[in-house]
Amino acid sequence: MSTPILPGATVGVLGSGQLGRMFAIAARRMGYRVHTLSPDKDTPTGHIADCEINASYDDLDQVRAFAANIDVVTFEFENVPLATVEAAAAFVPVRPGGAVLHIAQHRLREKTFLAQGGFPVAPFRHIRSSDDLSTALDALGYPAILKTAGFGYDGKGQSKINSADDAVAAWRELGGQEAVLEAFVDFEREVSVVAARGLDGSFAHYGVVDNEHRHHILDITIAPAEVPPSITREAIEITRAVLEKLDVIGVMCVEFFLSRSGQLLINELAPRPHNSGHFTFDANVTSQFEQQLRAVCGLPLGSTEQLRPAAMANLLGDIWQHGEPNWPAACAFPEIKLHLYGKLEARPGRKMGHLTALGGSTQEAATMVRAARHALNTK
C-alpha cells in the first residue's frame, strides 16, 4: 500500500459546488489544504478552500498547473471531461480514478457496465434514431423513460413516454442526441446507500436511506430507511460489489428503486458524496465528506456509526420566492442543523442548502425537518 497523504498536504477538488464545500470543511478541520478548480468564480467550495482556480475544464494548461501544486485530486462533480482527469493524473493520483468517472458520467456506459456485471437494473435499450426508439418501445412497452445517454442529473434531459405520439415529441426534444430508453419502474420507494472504499480495499457504508423526490430532485432523506433487514443486507451487498468491481477509492452512492414486488434495481451511481448522505455531517461519527478525505488520502476509514435517527430536507431556491427565509424560525427548533452553501443567487430548483433534524425516531426527525422547513416561509 502506498504511503498516506498526511495532514498539511493539499487536496485538489475538481468542481466547486456544495459537495466540494462540505468536503473542504472536513478537510480543513483535519489540517489539510484545499485547492478547487472550476469554470466559476466566488463558489461554494472556493469560499472554504485555500485557493480557487477559475478555468475551463478544457484548459489543460491550467489543469496541469493546478495538479502540479497539489498532492491528490478528487472531484465533487462527475461531469468533468476525461481529458481533464488524464491531464491531472500525469502529476498526481486521481481518486476515484478516471475509469470510474468515465462510466458514471454516461448513463449508457453505466447501465451497460451494471448489466454486464450481473447487477440488477431496469430493462433498457440504446437509442440512436427514431427507428431504434420505436423498436425499443415495442420491446419494453409503455410507459417508458427516454434519457440522454450523457450529462444528465436531477431528471434533466429525460421524459416519460406514454404513447407513440409522446415518443415522437420526446425524440424531437432530445434533438437527435444519443439516448437510453428505460422501462418505467413502478417503484414502492427510492432508497440509496452511500459507501466508501479505502486504498487498502476496506469498505464502509452508511446503511440504507429513504429518498423522496419532488420534480425529479431529492427533497427529503430519512435515515435509516424503513425496509426489511433482508433488503438492507441486499442493498449493502450490491453496493459493496459495485465499489469492488469499479475499484473505487473514495465515496460512491448507489441509488435504487425498490419495486412493489420487493426487488432492488439500481437507478444510478454517483462517484462522490451524495445529497442523500448529507445527514451524516450531523448524525454520524464520520461524515461522508471526511470519509472521502480519508479514502483519497489513504488513511483508515472512520466509523460510519449513526448516533441518532435523522432526516434531511433540501432547501431549494424556491424558498426565497417571497424574500429572505425566516432563519430564526427554523433555528428555533433546537435539534435542527442549518446548512447553507453560500450561493449568490437563489433560482427556483437550485440547491441552496439543507436542514438536518435529529430525533428519537426517524418519524420524529422527519416531522421536525418538515416543520422547520415550513417555518422558513412564515413571517
First to last CA, the chain: 57
Record the cell numbers describing residue 225, joined without a space. Answer: 430507511
Rounded to the nearest whole angstrom, what is the least distance from the CB of residue 256 to ligand AMP in the complex?
10
Minimal CA–CA distance to 18: which of 358, 298, 278, 364? 278
Binding to ligand AMP by residue 185, rule CB under 6 A?
yes
Residue 190: partners with Cβ closer than 8 Å, 6 or more residues away: 210, 211, 212, 213, 255, 256, 257, 258, 267
Rounded to the nearest whole angstrom, what is the least distance from the CB of residue 350 to ligand AMP in the complex?
16
The rounded distance, in Å, linking the Cα atoms of 250 and 195 is 8
Residue type, 129: S
Rounded to the nearest whole angstrom, what is the least distance from the CB of residue 189 to ligand AMP in the complex?
10
Binding to ligand AMP by residue 64, rule CB under 6 A?
no
Q: Is 211 or 304 the residue whose CB approaches ligand AMP more closely?
A: 211
Instruction: Indicate which single residue of 190, 210, 234, 282 sits in contact with ligand AMP (rule: CB under 6 A).
Output: 190
Binding to ligand AMP by residue 78, rule CB under 6 A?
no
Record the cell numbers describing residue 334, joined without a space. Answer: 433546537
Helices (H), the chain: 18-29, 60-68, 82-89, 98-104, 107-116, 130-140, 164-174, 229-246, 280-283, 288-296, 327-331, 362-375
Binding to ligand AMP by residue 172, rule CB under 6 A?
no
Q: Is 5 or 185 the residue whose CB approaches ligand AMP more closely?
A: 185
Contact stretch for ligand AMP (CB under 6 A) within 150-158, 191-199, 244-252, 339-347: 150-158
- Considering only residues 127 to 146 of the shown chain, the ones binding ligand AMP according to CB under 6 A are 145
Binding to ligand AMP by residue 213, rule CB under 6 A?
yes
Cβ-contact 26, 7 below 8 angstroms: no
Record the cell numbers describing residue 76, joined without a space. Answer: 465533487
Residue with smallest beta-carbon separation from ligand AMP:
185
Binding to ligand AMP by residue 110, rule CB under 6 A?
no
Q: Is 36 or 159 the residue whose CB approaches ligand AMP more closely?
A: 159
Q: Is 6 or 139 the residue whose CB approaches ligand AMP more closely?
A: 139
Binding mask 258-277 for ligand AMP (x = CB under 6 A): ---------xx---------
Q: Is 159 or 291 the residue whose CB approaches ligand AMP more closely?
A: 159
Q: Is 182 or 290 the residue whose CB approaches ligand AMP more closely?
A: 182
Bridge partners, 127 (sequence order) = 179
Q: Is 172 or 213 the residue whose CB approaches ligand AMP more closely?
A: 213
Rounded to the nearest whole angstrom, what is the least distance from the CB of residue 144 to ligand AMP in the complex?
8
Contact stretch for ligand AMP (CB under 6 A) within 10-18, 147-155, 238-246, 299-307: 147-155
* Count, residues in the chain: 379
Binding to ligand AMP by residue 216, rule CB under 6 A?
yes
Contact stretch for ligand AMP (CB under 6 A) within 38-46, 127-135, 148-156, 356-364: 148-156
- Considering only residues 275 to 294 of the shown chain, the ones binding ligand AMP according to CB under 6 A are none
> For cell 469560499, what's the residue?
47
Contact stretch for ligand AMP (CB under 6 A) within 5-13, 17-25, 149-157, 349-357: 149-157
Q: Is 62 or 267 the residue whose CB approaches ligand AMP more closely?
A: 267
Rounded to the nearest whole angstrom, what is the least distance from the CB of residue 268 to ligand AMP in the complex?
5
Rounded to the nearest whole angstrom, what is the least distance from the CB of residue 226 to ligand AMP in the complex?
18
Sign of CA pseudo-dihedral 27, 33, 39, 42: positive
What are the angstrom distances between the C-alpha of 286 and each of 192, 200, 295, 355, 373? Answer: 18, 18, 12, 18, 25
Interstrand relation of 217-223 and 310-316 (parallel, antiparallel or unpaired): antiparallel
Burial classification of residue 317, based on how many CB atoms lie within 10 Å of its CB (0-12 exposed, 13-18 middle, 19 or more buried): middle
Q: Is 56 or 163 the residue whose CB approaches ligand AMP more closely?
A: 163
DSSP state string for 176-219: T--EEEEEPP-EEEEEEEEEEE-TTS-EEEEEEEEEEEETTEEE
Which residues are near ligand AMP by CB under 6 A? 122, 145, 152-155, 182, 184-185, 190, 213, 216, 267-268
